Amino acid sequence: MTARILDGKAVAARIRSTMADEVAALISKHGRAPGLAVILVGEDAASEVYVRNKKKACVDTGIESAAFSQTLPASTTQQHLLGLIAELNANPKVDGILVQMPLPAQIDSETVIEAIDPGKDVDGFHPYNVGRLAARIPSLRSCTPYGCMKLLEETGLDLHGQEVVIVGASNIVGRPMALELLLAGATVTVAHKFTRDLQAHIERADIVVAAAGKPGLVKGEWIKPGAVVIDVGINRLNDGTLTGDVGYAAAAERAGWITPVPGGVGPMTITMLLANTVQAFREHLGDTL
């Protein structure tokens, strides 16, 4: 079997194009654009690229970001950042607040995440929003898992009862991904660094979601024939190439569907950030679908 490609770039472009029309209609109806504040602290090279891409995606979709976004020096104090978040929480033109992670060592990320108004938490990281998902009443959902769910929708597969193995138990991907899939009726296993015999888990999975950030951790030969492989890993090798957590060539020979790296999950994450911003805007204006 040769896997069909889950083309995140194409799916993201389709969703963003529809969203741009929706945003244009919302602007003429309400007289203002959805607003997203993107806050970057310090000079982490990867974070600078992510933040630039997020701001550009806002421009392309009609979301106002430049007016509210800030880049702060690496020496920024936690108190200063919390003061900025309080201002953005109080600004009625700001619908979403995103503080790019990781933060410098003097700032505690949990304190920062909890300081954001849950109604403006477009990353879906606030314990309130994670709790809503756990309680089966999702509100703003974590962007990467939400994007993976959209990609799984593309397969047309009924998720009820599917054996899913998620590799990685991070707050950003693994844990909320498990909650999304549980909500969708899948049977979910979360493998992590203490898991014994990862291979045995992968070999029986109908769907593998790899989100460990370790190149080649999941061997392509372990994939069950016909399984769906969602590779969230984005690892830069010494020669500069980007690669996922799954051995792609061997996995693509066995899987039914597979996401490429790059061009799979990556473009979906930013797309769902935009979707969350539009959702938050609608909720702030009482104009929900």
Catalytic residues, by residue number, are 54, 100, 123
Cα separation, 2 vs 255, whole angstroms: 7
Amino acid letter for position 215: P
Choice between 48 and 203, CB closer to ligand GUN? 48
The tally of CA atoms less than 13 A away on the side-chain side of residue 278 is 24
Phi/psi for 242 (5° steps) reads -95, 140
Choice between 146 and 257, CB closer to ligand GUN? 146
Among 101, 134, 157, 250, binds ligand GUN (CB under 6 A): 101
Among 95, 121, 123, 180, binds ligand GUN (CB under 6 A): 123
Phi/psi for 224 (5° steps) reads -70, 135
Which DSSP state fits 103?
P
Q: Is 95 in the site for ligand GUN (CB under 6 A)?
A: no
- The 263-282 site mask, x for binding ligand GUN (CB under 6 A), equals ------x-------------
Closest CA to 237 of 221, 213, 253, 211: 213
Q: Is 72 in the site for ligand GUN (CB under 6 A)?
A: no
Helix 266-284 vs helix 8-30: crossing angle, to nearest 10: 20
Q: Which stretch binds ligand GUN (CB under 6 A): 9-17, 96-104, 146-154, 237-245?
A: 96-104
Amino acid letter for position 50: Y
Choice between 99 and 178, CB closer to ligand GUN? 99
Q: Is 36 in the site for ligand GUN (CB under 6 A)?
A: no
Q: Is 37 in the site for ligand GUN (CB under 6 A)?
A: no
Please, which residues bridge with residue 5 across strands?
Answer: 258
Choice between 129 and 269, CB closer to ligand GUN? 269
Choice between 81 and 98, CB closer to ligand GUN? 98
Burial of residue 156 (number of CB atoms within 10 Å: 0-12, 13-18, 19+): exposed
Q: Is 232 in the site for ligand GUN (CB under 6 A)?
A: no
Cα separation, 98 vs 109, whole angstroms: 12
**Interacting residue ranges for ligand GUN, rule: CB under 6 A:** 98-101, 123, 143-144, 172, 269
